Amino acid sequence: MNKQELIDLVAEDSEASKAVVNKVLDTLLHAIKNAVVEGGEVQLTGFGSFAAGNRAARTGRNPRTGEAIEIAASRTVKFTAGKAFKDAVNIPA
């Protein structure tokens, strides 16, 4: 599902206009991004949490030559699925 399909689905289910749903979704994503960039964590109960993490510097290998290379430390985004989300995905067949 892409962003437009999500907007269409939410607009249909909520009986709101697609323009309003698009604005709300953009605002929500912007707020999550800003909170994580500032070092905070966003927890959506039943869905999951977004947070920034640190990745240490390490030695890697160039797959073409096999030569050792240094990979710099960096920040990354972590998403941890909530219990209700995990349970919904792992329903027994």
Structure tokens at 70: 């240094």
Predicted confidence (pLDDT) per residue in 36-85, tens digit: 999 999 999 999 999 999 999 999 999 999 999 999 999 999 999 999 99
**Residue 93 confidence (pLDDT) above 90:** no
Position 22, amino acid: N
Residue 91, pLDDT score = 82
Residue 44: name the closest of 26, 29, 55 by CA.
29
Cβ pair 88, 47 in contact under 8 A: no
